[in-house]
């Protein structure tokens, strides 16, 4: 799937703040530029680490379909361009489901697909500001405050 030009421009503008945020916390961001064969510029690979376990690196894949109007599909992977079906790549955090290989929280496509009630009220997807940064900040907060180790 190729992202529309508006979404690409919005992502490029917001990516700068995301990169700054994750870099300041020992993480990393890579935009997938392999468009010709199997990549899409709407895919990003992020590395995050829990504050309490800085030696533990977690990789996540974000795929945007229309930005900032819809949440990204987010999954935990075993490395940049890696598989999402490796249980030991997953952190133990409430709502992060290594047996389903998805995240059931109100900031990603999978969460909203499972819980239609999240589409309204305080859990509704917000398009204002920098939604990409807001999602990454939310995930980093969960890694910092809800992390209980790596799935065995």
Asked, for residue 60, whether it belongs to a domain, the answer is yes
pLDDT for 71: 97
Asked, for residue 137, whether it belongs to a domain, the answer is yes
Asked, for residue 131, whether it belongs to a domain, the answer is yes
pTM reported for the whole predicted model: 0.93
Asked, for residue 47, whether it belongs to a domain, the answer is yes
pLDDT for 130: 98
Asked, for residue 11, whether it belongs to a domain, the answer is yes
Residue 73 pLDDT exceeds 70: yes
pLDDT for 33: 73
Asked, for residue 150, whether it belongs to a domain, the answer is no
**pLDDT tens string 91-140:** 999 999 999 999 999 999 999 999 999 999 999 999 999 999 999 999 99
CA distance 95 to 112: 12
Residue 36 pLDDT exceeds 50: no
Structural domain including 40 reads: 5-145
CA distance 63 to 52: 28
Count of domains forming the chain: 1
Average pLDDT of the segment spanning 21-50: 83
CATH number (domain holding residue 41):
3.10.110.10
The answer to whether the beta carbons of residues 46 and 28 sit under 8 Å apart is yes
Asked, for residue 151, whether it belongs to a domain, the answer is no
Q: Considering only CA atoms, which of 149, 133, 148, 138 is closest in space to residue 10?
A: 133
Percent of the chain surpassing pLDDT 90: 89
Residue 13 pLDDT exceeds 50: yes
Alpha-carbon torsion, ordered 102, 87, 3, 113, to 10 deg: -10
pLDDT for 35: 52
Average pLDDT of the segment spanning 33-59: 82
Asked, for residue 98, whether it belongs to a domain, the answer is yes
């Amino acid at each position: 799937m190729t992202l529309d030009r508006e979404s690409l421009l919005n992502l490029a503008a917001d990516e700068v703040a995301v990169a700054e945020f994750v870099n300041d916390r020992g993480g990393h961001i890579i935009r997938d530029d392999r468009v010709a064969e199997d990549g899409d510029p709407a895919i990003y690979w992020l590395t995050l680490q829990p504050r309490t376990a800085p030696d533990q690196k977690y990789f996540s894949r974000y795929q945007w379909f229309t930005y900032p109007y819809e949440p990204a599909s987010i999954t935990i992977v075993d490395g940049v361009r890696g598989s999402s079906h490796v249980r030991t790549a997953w952190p133990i955090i409430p709502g992060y489901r290594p047996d389903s290989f998805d995240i059931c929280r109100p900031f990603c496509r999978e969460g909203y697909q499972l819980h239609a009630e999240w589409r309204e009220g305080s859990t509704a997807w917000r398009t204002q500001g920098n939604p990409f940064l807001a999602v990454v900040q939310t995930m980093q907060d969960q890694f910092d405050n809800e992390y209980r180790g790596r799935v065995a």
